[in-house]
Amino acid sequence: MTPEKPSADGEQTADGRASDAGPAVDYETVSVPVLVVGAGAAGARVAIGLAENGVEPLVIGKRDHGDAHTTWAAGGINASLGSLDPEDDWTIHAADTLDEGHFINDPKAVELTAKHMPDRIRELDDWGMPFDRTEDGKINQRYFGAQSFRRTCFVGDRTGEAMLDTLVDKAQSLGIPYRDNVMITRLLSDGDRVYGAAGYDMESGEFVLFESDHVVLAAGGSSALYNRHSSRDEENNGDGPALALDAGASLMDMEFVQFHPTGMVGDRYGEDWDGRLVTEAVRGEGGRLLNVDGERFMEEYSPDQMELDARDVVARAIAQELREGRGTENGGVYLDISHRDDEYIKSRLPRMYERFMDLGVDITEKPMEVAPTAHYSMGGVDIDFETGETGVDGLYAVGETVAGVHGANRLGGNSLAETVAIGALVGDHVAAQVTGDDRNGALPDGQRAIAEREFRSLRELEASDGDETPEQLLADLGDLLWEHAGILRTDESVSAGLEKLRNLRERTGNISVDGDRTSLSFELAVDLSFSLTVAEALLLGARKRDESRGAHYRADAPDVDPEWRRNILVDQGDTRLELTTRGVAEPSEEVSEAVDVGYELDYHHLE
């Protein structure tokens, strides 16, 4: 998927190479029953489900095997085990999730996740995930923001890494084939069904055509579009949602972007650390937020839930402190855990302790400087959560690539939960769809022509020698979104952002790629197209939703509007993106009862 795609003319030769459609292009062809795009937790769990049902998928990832973005999820994974709070159950987990999502979550998605998570945790435990334990041997659980009970299971502050290691080990024990360092740039689709995918090997530069009747997108989200974010710069650029949209699927609720309250402050720790996550586990273990005057300001904004209120509430509180001049000279506030015992901090937060020690800060003695950072995309592909189906036959999606579980704001600890709870369901469902009636590699000529046109377009992109670098264009896009679709938004600011986005698109016609197809410059040039598409959907949704709900805060419409309890759908029209809305279903009776009870975290249990 590149900024410009030439039209294809002429016929195809018998071996599938282009004749007069354009210069001949060489490529590898791979035929598989199921192609899983994304090698993080969601993709791995789907693949395990397929293999356990007798279907051998091929899993492809953009990085080395085991180096997916899941490893950056630190604090924990939710399940109503009741290890410490036996009154907790899945209906309360679902109620907390709906409340945090301001009730525009897909209730079925929420209930499936909450109901299945205890079994998924026990499964991960059986597979060897080294969960922290209580003194009596139960899986330990900690408080996370806006959760009524201690529900977040953890492995210190490296939960995502431990979980991915466990899933990869399980997948390898099943002999699931992986292919690393491959980027998918286009799905092969006629809008009604999918036929495979086109991409390139990022190490060799070779083009690869994947023939498959079943493609599962598990490629992550799009929070790295912002200039301050908690992702690697070359991850979470929106490729999953953009690929699905181009293939004929719908996106949903793209305006909802979670700004995590505690990202590192680049002016203090260096540009390479700007926006990097300081895990919510620090606050879950009793960390306190202080302004430059030493005031524990959450007492003013949320006296009951304090630092463990919802992420959107805490992020806006920090933003308010900064706007009113009570931030540090580096543009942050302080997060202090030093009142806890030194050994407790080192055992519960080993990664945070080691990271800050490397930067010359002993968090057992001194506070960290933090400020909000773009962290997670609640919006994504619209799917059926029992099946992963997108509405395009043979195309499925799962994980942060999709929308629905989290609504207007994600409950901390639910991202990892969604990957394995829904990933298991999708794996089982897709396996049942693989039959002897599949094409077995017989790619229609029209789809082969699309793939070859894509390869020629990528080759042209590689040769681009204009004046605009993809690095600068992406940086300017990040600045644009932070300024015009950040924590605070207005109709005026979002509309101005859309106008700037049009100008930015025009600049891509003068792009320059420094290096061949194995270079980072080329990778970022491909990312740019995905990012521009997702940024447009985000801005359009933010302008259309003229209310404030969860992570979407419109300063010119600061209240929740009951009439806006609707999802915004985005589809690819003939010439532009088209937006429609859809009402939200009601939760089940048992979850509605838990909502009505109004369970709520009392932060002061920690003190």
Question: Coil, strand, or helix at residue 375?
Answer: strand
Neighbours of 120 (CB within 10 A): 21
CA atoms within 13 A on the CB side of 526: 30
Cα four-point dihedral sign 360, 365, 371, 375: positive
Distance CA 110, CA 471 (A): 38
Q: Quickly list H helices, 176-250.
A: 239-247
Specify the pairing of strand 34-37 against strand 214-217: parallel
Distance CA 74, CA 165 (A): 13
- Indicate which residue of 311, 410, 505, 543 is catalytic: 311
Q: What angle do CA 478, 105, 140 make, to 5 degrees?
A: 90
Query: Beta partners for 396?
Result: 216, 389
Question: Coil, strand, or helix at residue 188?
Answer: strand
Q: Which of 578, 461, 451 is nearest to 517 (CA)?
A: 461
The secondary element (H helix, E strand) that includes residue 369 is strand 368-377
Number of helices (H) and strands (E) in the chain: give both, helices first. Answer: 17, 20
Distance CA 592, CA 576 (A): 39
Contact indicator for 270, 558 with CB cutoff of 8 Å: no
Q: Which of 368, 306, 314, 310 is nearest to 337 (CA)?
A: 368
For residue 429, give Cα distances in angstroms to 110, 196, 214, 387, 436.
18, 18, 11, 6, 16
Q: Which of 323, 242, 302 is nearest to 486 (CA)?
A: 323
The secondary element (H helix, E strand) that includes residue 373 is strand 368-377
Contact indicator for 395, 430 with CB cutoff of 8 Å: no
Distance CA 385, CA 487 (A): 29
Q: Is 311 a catalytic residue?
A: yes
Distance CA 188, CA 398 (A): 19
Distance CA 405, CA 376 (A): 13
In sequence order, what E strands does 498-576 have? 566-572
Residues with a known catalytic role: 311
